[in-house]
């Protein structure tokens, strides 16, 4: 759960008041204990001025992306002298779990709450929290409607998809017989739809295009994606471009191709930019990935929350936390950075 990393950071900071250190350690333990759903608070032991409480609610605790986001928030909270409460849904569609965590945090006196909303199921609770004077910032994906929250700090997921779509188009320029497979996450995923649509936009085709020979739900994980890619290859062995929702999915696709000895002729593009994923770009399994910055989202969110609590300054609107195309085989017309940059800025 990264508690050792946290402690290293604390030591690196040095000279901080003692309670923060213990709060940090407690926080890591408390998160362990309440992994699942609900929320946990760092006890504000012996703090002289009443510390600012910031809440962070992630879709799930079982996904490196959100774990890194939480760790980034914990670090930033330590730096700013705020207390971070964390909570998570049971899985990516557990809106009820998120709502519970949100309500508990409001009760606990959180001044600002950062949430990665699962669906419209959290909207009412978000509005209610705001009516009670709490600043609510959506991270990673928008609330539905987007203005239900005060502000949105997120990757432009459509742009992330668009970048790899443009990349794939440019990389395959002039070739004929293009056959595309699309690996989505799961039916009903907002982020999944944005990336999917972005990819098609970047590639310059639409759903139902004859070049798309297989559309699969890999669940965003390696095991299911491998199975689905095997079936896609049976359906059409000539697949040569694969869009994947994230890097674990890309690795599952690669494994299926490898089992068939076809890994060399196929271009795989993905989204996320996790360290393992960028490693996959470096060793050639993935051609390009759109890197996003969850640590940055968390940092900006905590900063805005503290600013609101102390100075009453309310952020609003959309803040793009940035997305960068990472590839070691740049193509003309699409800006990209190499894996050295990617590994220096990756998140997990």
Q: Does residue 145 have a cis bond before it (omega within 30 degrees)?
A: yes
- Structure tokens, 75: 């670090």
Assess contact for 244 and 250: CB atoms under 8 A: yes
Alpha helices in the chain (DSSP H): 3-13, 18-34, 64-80, 95-107, 123-131, 157-171, 190-203, 222-235, 247-259, 275-282, 294-311, 339-344
- Which of 248, 294, 305, 342 binds another protein (CB under 8 A)? It is 248
Among 96-104, 146-154, 221-229, 291-299, which window interacts with another protein (CB under 8 A)?
221-229
The rounded distance, in Å, linking the Cα atoms of 275 and 280 is: 9
Stretch near another protein under the rule CB under 8 A, chosen from 76-84, 112-120, 213-221, 309-317: 213-221
Least Cβ distance, residue 323 to another protein (angstroms) = 22
Judged by CB under 8 A, which of 22, 93, 123, 221 binds another protein?
221
Cβ-based neighbour number of residue 223 at 10 Å: 12
**Could you tell me which stretch among 39-47, 121-129, 219-227, 308-316 binds another protein (CB under 8 A)?**
219-227
114 forms part of the interface with another protein (CB under 8 A): no
DSSP code of residue 337: B
Of 116-124, 196-204, 229-237, 330-338, the window that binds another protein (rule: CB under 8 A) is 229-237
289 sits near another protein (criterion: CB under 8 A): no
Judged by beta carbon, residue 165 or residue 348, the one nearer another protein is 348
162/73 Cα distance (integer angstroms): 28
List phi, psi (to 5°) of 19: -60, -30
Which DSSP state fits 220? T
Site string for another protein, 61-80 (x = CB under 8 A): xxxx--x-------------
Among 86, 155, 157, 226, binds another protein (CB under 8 A): 226
Binding-site ranges for another protein (CB under 8 A): 1-2, 32, 35-36, 61-64, 67, 91, 186-187, 214-217, 219-223, 226-228, 230-232, 234-235, 248, 251-252, 255, 276, 348
């Amino acid at each position: 759960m990264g508690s050792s990393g946290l402690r290293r950071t604390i030591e690196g900071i040095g000279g901080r008041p003692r309670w923060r250190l213990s709060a940090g350690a407690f926080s890591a333990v408390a998160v362990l204990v309440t992994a699942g759903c609900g929320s946990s608070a760092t006890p504000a032991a012996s703090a002289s001025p009443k510390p600012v409480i910031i809440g962070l609610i992630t879709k799930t605790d079982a996904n490196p992306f959100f774990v890194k986001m939480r760790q980034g928030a914990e670090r930033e909270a330590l730096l700013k002298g705020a207390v971070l409460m964390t909570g998570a849904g049971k899985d990516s569609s557990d809106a009820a779990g998120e709502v519970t965590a949100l309500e508990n945090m409001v009760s606990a006196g959180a001044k600002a709450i950062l949430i990665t909303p699962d669906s419209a199921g959290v909207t009412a609770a978000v509005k209610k929290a705001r009516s009670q004077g709490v600043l609510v910032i959506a991270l990673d994906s928008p609330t539905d409607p987007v203005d239900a929250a005060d502000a949105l700090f997120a990757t432009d997921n459509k742009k992330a998809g668009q970048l790899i779509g443009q990349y794939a188009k440019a990389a395959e320029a002039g070739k004929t017989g293009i056959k595309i497979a699309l690996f989505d996450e799961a039916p009903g995923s907002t982020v999944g739809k944005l990336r999917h649509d972005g990819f098609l936009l970047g590639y310059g085709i639409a759903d139902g295009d004859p070049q798309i020979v297989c559309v699969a739900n890999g669940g965003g994980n390696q095991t299911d994606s491998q199975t689905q890619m095997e079936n896609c290859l049976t359906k059409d062995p000539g697949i040569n471009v694969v869009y994947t929702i994230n890097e674990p999915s890309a690795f599952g696709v690669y494994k299926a191709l490898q089992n068939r000895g076809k890994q060399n002729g196929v271009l795989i593009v993905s989204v996320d930019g996790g360290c393992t994923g960028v490693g996959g770009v470096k060793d050639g399994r993935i051609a390009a990935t759109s890197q996003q910055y969850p640590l940055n989202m968390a940092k900006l969110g905590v900063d805005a929350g503290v600013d609101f609590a102390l100075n009453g300054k309310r952020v609003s609107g959309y803040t793009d936390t940035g997305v960068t195309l990472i590839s070691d085989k740049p193509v003309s017309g699409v800006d990209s950075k190499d894996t050295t940059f990617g590994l220096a800025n990756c998140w997990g």
